[in-house]
Amino acid sequence: MDNSRAVPVFDRALVARYDVDGPRYTSYPTAPHFAGDVGETSLRRAILDSNEEPIPREISAYVHLPFCLSPCFYCGCSRIITRDRTRIGGYLARLYREIETVSVLFARDRSLAQLHFGGGTPNFLDADQLVELIDALGRHFTFSRRADREFCVEIDPRFCDGDYARRIAEAGINRLSIGVQDFDPDVQRAVNRVQSIEQTREVMLGAREAGVRSINLDLIYGLPRQTTDSFARTLEAVIALHPERIAAYGYAHLPERFPAQRQIDKFELPDASTRLGLLQLAVERLTAAGYRYIGVDHFALPGDDLSRAADAGTLHRNFQGYSTHAACDLAGFGMSAISHVGDTYSQNARDLPGYYGALDQGHLPAVRGLHLSDDDRLRADAIQQLMCAGTLDIAAFETRHLVYFGTYFQRSLEALRPLAADGLVECTPERITVTPRGQFLLRNIAMCFDAYLGAANGPVRYSRAV
Amino acid sequence: MGQVTLQGRMQAPNPIADDGDEEHFCSTCAFGSVCLGSGVDKVALHDLHCLVEHVGAYRTGDAIFRTGERFNAIYAVRAGAVKTRLVDLEGRELVLGFHLPGELIGLDAIDPETYPCDAIALGEVEVCRFSFPALATLATRAPSIQLELFRRMSRDIGNAALLAGDYSADERLAAFLIVLGKRYADRGFPVHTLTLAMSRGDIANYLRLAAETVSRVLRRFQDRGLIHVDGRHVTIAKPAELFDLARPILQR
C-alpha cells in the first residue's frame, strides 16, 4: 500500500516530458515572494510568541559566511569574492552582535538541535575563528546533547585539510557537506574550480577520524563540458570515497540573475538530452552502489540518519534540502540568512552595507519576509507531506486543518489529473500517493499545490525541474 | 499574495458561534442551564435577553475590565478565553484563573463594587455583558437566575482553591489539563482535545511553576503517551491515567 518505500523508477521519457521550470520548495511560499513589510519587529514578536507554546520547538540555527577566495562560475549563492582574509573581522563582529541580540529572545530551555554553517565558504574562516564561533553559539544557546543533533559545516576542500576538519569536529561538528561538483579537470577549469580527489579525501579522513558520522558530497550535473563518460568517472570516484550522503543538483543557467554565470560559455553546456542522461546516470550508478534516493537531488546510504528518517516518515524539507529534524524554529544569522519562526519568515539584508548598517545602529538586520496565511500553511503542509512522506492522508489532513480536501483543493486535484494519468501519482478518496515513477518529479507534483504559480506577481525565474 | 480559497473550510468546533434568539440562548450561554428544565418563564427569559449586550471582539492583551474600575456588569465569555490576574507594585503578574466560553467573569466584584483584578483577552475574545443593576433586579423576580448566580460564585471560589495545596508539578499539570478538558467538554467542545489559548508563561504562573517545568512535565506526559502536543493543541490520549495522576488534587 505504501508506495513511498518502493524503489523509485527513473522513467527517462516521462522525466523529459515534465522538464519545466519550477521551485525546489525548500520553503513554501518560496523566498521570491518575501516582501518588505516583515522585518525586525515581526521577527522579535515571532520569537517571543514561539516561547509561549506549551512545549516550545527546538531551535535550528543557520549561519551564513558569505566570503569566498575565488569565484566558482556556476554559483547562485549570496557570496562575496575577496582574497583579503582580514575582511572577516568586521563581519564576525556584526555576526556576534546579531547572535547576542537574537539568542536572548529565545527561552533558555529550548535546545539547539541543528546547526548549519553555509556560504559562501564557511572555511574562509580559519579553524580558530570557526571553533570560536561554534563555542560562542554554545554559550548563547543551549546545545542539544542528544546523539541525533545535526551540526554541519559546508566545506570547500581546496582551502581545508584534515587538521581543520579534526579541529571543528572536536568543537562539536558531526556532519560535513563538501563541495565537489565534478572531478573532471576539463569541467573544473570551465567552472573555475580545480580540486583534486586527494584534497577531498584528506578532509574526509580527518573528519572521520574525529568522529564525524555523516559526510555529504555535492555534485552538479549540466555543467559545461560534462559528458556522460566524464560524469561516469566522477561518480565512480565519488562512490569510492564512500560519503554517507550525495546531493546531485541540476545546474541552473540564469546569467541575468547570477553575474558569475556570464563567465560560462553557454555553447559548452550539455543539451537537454545529455543533461537528462547525466541525471539518469547518477541515479543508476548511485542506486547500484547502494545509495537510496531520498527525494529532489538527494541520496543517502541506508544506515544514514536521512534514510532512517525517510523510513520512519519523519523527513523534513528545509532550506538545506532534506533534514531529519522536523518542526524546529529556524534562526538565520548573517547576510541574507533566512529565519523561520512560527508562521513568520524573515530574511536579513542581502548586502554587507545593509547587514552592517542595521546592526551598527542597534537593530536586527531582517528586512523582508512573509507571514504565512492560513492558505499558505495548508499548502505548505500538503507539499511537505508529498515531498517528504511521498503520501498524503486526506482524512488526517482534513482533521488537522478543518477543510474538506476535495473542495478546498479542487483546482490542485484537477491539475494533478494529467499527472495521475501519466502514472506520477495515485489519487484515491483516501490518499494521494507518489508512485515510484513520480519520485523523480516531486517538484512537478508540488507545483499543483502552489497558489503563487501563474499569479500576476511579476516574473520569478526558477531553475528547471530536472 | 497567495490566492486564498475560502471554499472547503469546515466550521470550527466552536459551539458558541450561534447567537440564540428570543426563546433560546446561545448554546453555551452562562445562563443556558437556568432555562433548561427549570422552566424560567418566557418573560424573564426575554428580560434577560434585553439586558445582554454582545461586546468584542477583543484582541490579545486587551482588557475587558481593570482592577479598581467601578463594578457595573458581569461578563460571560462567548468566544476565546480570558485570564484574570493581579499586577503588584513591582509590575509582577499573578494569574488568578482562565475563563472559557460560557463562563462568567466579574462575579467577585459584586461585594467590593470595584473589579478586584484585570480581565485580559487571550487571543480573539467576544463576551456578553450583563448590566449588573438590571440583572440583580431580574434575579429578585426569577429565583432560578439568582440561584445560578450563587452557584457560579461558589464554584469560582472552589476553582481558585484547587491549586493552592502542596502538590507536585506532575499533579498540578495533570489536574490542570483534566479540569480544562472537562470545562471545554461541558460546553460542547470536543472531548479530550484542547486548544490552549493561554501562553506557557501564563500556565506556569497560574500553577506556580517555572515555565521550563511546565514544558518538561508536558514532554514527559507526551513521552509516556498520556497526551499528544502539537503547537497549542493538546490531545489527551489516556484520560484515565492522567486522572490518576491528578487524583490527589481532584479528589481532595
Taking only the tens place, the pLDDT of each residue in B34-66 is 544 344 555 666 666 666 788 878 999 999 999
Cell of A100: 547576542
How far away is chain B from the Cα of A109, in angstroms, using its nearest Cα? 6
Q: Does the structure show a pLDDT above 60 at B20?
A: no
Interface predicted TM-score of the whole assembly (ipTM), two decimals: 0.82
Residue located via cell numbers 442551564: B33
Pairwise CA distance, residues A92 & A126, whole Å: 12
What is residue A34's predicted lDDT score, i.e. its pLDDT? 92
Q: Could you say which of A374, A402, A406 has the minimum Cβ distance to residue B10?
A: A402
Q: Does the structure show a pLDDT above 80 at B208?
A: yes
Residue B243: Cβ within 10 Å count: 18
Pairwise CA distance, residues A13 & A443, whole Å: 17
Residue located via cell numbers 519550477: A22
Do B200 and A56 make contact, defined as CB atoms within 8 angstroms? yes
Q: Spell out the residues 6+ positions from residue A326 whose beta carbon is closer than 8 angstroms to its own.
A: A314, A316
Taking only the tens place, the pLDDT of each residue in A139-160 is 999 999 988 899 999 999 999 9
What mean pLDDT do residues A373-388 have?
94
Looking at residue A84, the DSSP 8-state letter turns out to be -
Of A44-53, A333-342, B125-134, give the lowest mean pLDDT range.
B125-134
Among candidate residues A74, A290, A276, the one with its CA nearest the CA of residue A181: A74
Is the Cβ of A86 closer than 8 Å to some Cβ of chain B?
no
Pairwise CA distance, residues A164 & B63, whole Å: 58
Q: Does the structure show a pLDDT above 80 at A248?
A: yes
Q: For the domain with range A1-29+374-466, which CATH number is right: 1.20.1090.10, 1.10.10.920, 1.20.1440.230, 3.30.200.20? A: 1.10.10.920
What is residue B17's predicted lDDT score, i.e. its pLDDT? 46
Taking only the tens place, the pLDDT of each residue in A48-84 is 999 999 999 999 999 999 999 999 999 988 889 999 9
Is the Cβ of B10 closer than 8 Å to some Cβ of chain A?
yes
Do A269 and A261 contact (CB within 8 A), yes or no? no
What mean pLDDT do residues A388-393 have?
93
Is the Cβ of A375 closer than 8 Å to some Cβ of chain B?
yes
What mean pLDDT do residues A115-139 have?
96
Instruction: Band the pLDDT of B163: cuts 50, 70, 90.
Output: low
CA distance readout (Å), B34 to A107, A366, B28: 46, 55, 12
> Mind listing the domains of chain B with CATH numbers?
15-161 (2.60.120.10), 169-250 (1.10.10.10)
B-chain CB neighbours of A452 within 8 Å are 2
Share of chain A above pLDDT 90, in %: 83
Is the Cβ of B214 closer than 8 Å to some Cβ of chain A?
yes
Pairwise CA distance, residues A216 & A383, whole Å: 25
What is residue A218's predicted lDDT score, i.e. its pLDDT? 97
What is residue A176's predicted lDDT score, i.e. its pLDDT? 97
What is residue B109's predicted lDDT score, i.e. its pLDDT? 77
Of A106-115, A257-266, B97-106, B146-155, give the lowest mean pLDDT range.
B146-155
- Residues 42-81 on B with a CB inside 8 Å of A are none
| B136: helix, strand or coil | helix
What mean pLDDT do residues A25-49 have?
93
What is residue B4's predicted lDDT score, i.e. its pLDDT? 41
Do A455 and B199 make contact, defined as CB atoms within 8 angstroms? no
Q: Does the structure show a pLDDT above 50 at A455?
A: no
Taking only the tens place, the pLDDT of each residue in A290-321 is 999 999 899 999 999 999 998 888 898 988 88
Return phi, psi of residue A364, to 5°: -80, 145
Q: Does the structure show a pLDDT above 80 at B3?
A: no
Q: Spell out the residues 6+ positions from residue B113 whose beta carbon is closer than 8 angstroms to its own.
A: B70, B71
What is residue A1's predicted lDDT score, i.e. its pLDDT? 40
Taking only the tens place, the pLDDT of each residue in B166-192 is 889 999 999 999 988 888 887 777 778
Cis peptide before B121 (omega within 30 of 0): no
Share of chain B above pLDDT 90, in %: 36
pTM: 0.89
Do A375 and B218 make contact, defined as CB atoms within 8 angstroms? no
Instruction: Band the pLDDT of A243: cuts 50, 70, 90.
Output: very high
* Residues A308, A314, A315, A316, CA torsion sign: negative
Among A135-139, A457-461, B8-12, name the most confident range: A135-139
Do B2 and A452 make contact, defined as CB atoms within 8 angstroms? yes
Q: Could you say which of B2, B8, B229 has the minimum Cβ distance to residue A54?
A: B229
What is residue A458's predicted lDDT score, i.e. its pLDDT? 43
What is residue B38's predicted lDDT score, i.e. its pLDDT? 43
**Extents of the domains making up chain A:** 1-29+374-466, 33-331
How far away is chain B from the Cα of A33, in angstroms, using its nearest Cα? 8
Do A404 and A398 contact (CB within 8 A), yes or no? yes
Do A14 and A424 contact (CB within 8 A), yes or no? yes
Among candidate residues B206, B74, B86, B48, the one with its CA nearest the CA of residue B153: B74
CATH class of the structural domain A33-331: alpha beta
Do B80 and B113 contact (CB within 8 A), yes or no? no
10 Å CB burial of residue A40 (0-12, 13-18, 19+) is middle
Pairwise CA distance, residues A105 & A43, whole Å: 10
Average pLDDT of every residue of chain A = 92
Of A189-203, B156-170, B223-237, give the lowest mean pLDDT range.
B156-170
Q: Does the structure show a pLDDT above 90 at A445?
A: yes
Average pLDDT of every residue of chain B = 80
Of A7-21, A365-379, B6-20, B89-103, give the lowest mean pLDDT range.
B6-20
Looking at residue A402, the DSSP 8-state letter turns out to be T
Residue located via cell numbers 516521462: A14
What is residue A459's predicted lDDT score, i.e. its pLDDT? 45
Pairwise CA distance, residues A176 & B240, whole Å: 47
What mean pLDDT do residues B223-240 have?
93
Cis peptide before B76 (omega within 30 of 0): no
Residue A16 host element (H or E): helix A12-17
Do the strands A150-155 and A329-333 form a parallel or antiparallel pair, or are they unpaired?
unpaired
Cell of A43: 521577527
Share of chain A above pLDDT 70, in %: 96
B-chain CB neighbours of A36 within 8 Å are none
Pairwise CA distance, residues A166 & A153, whole Å: 12
Instruction: Band the pLDDT of A111: cuts 50, 70, 90.
Output: very high
Q: Does the structure show a pLDDT above 70 at B12?
A: no
Do A192 and A71 contact (CB within 8 A), yes or no? yes
Taking only the tens place, the pLDDT of each residue in A265-283 is 999 999 989 999 999 999 9
Do A53 and B8 make contact, defined as CB atoms within 8 angstroms? no
What is residue B161's predicted lDDT score, i.e. its pLDDT? 54
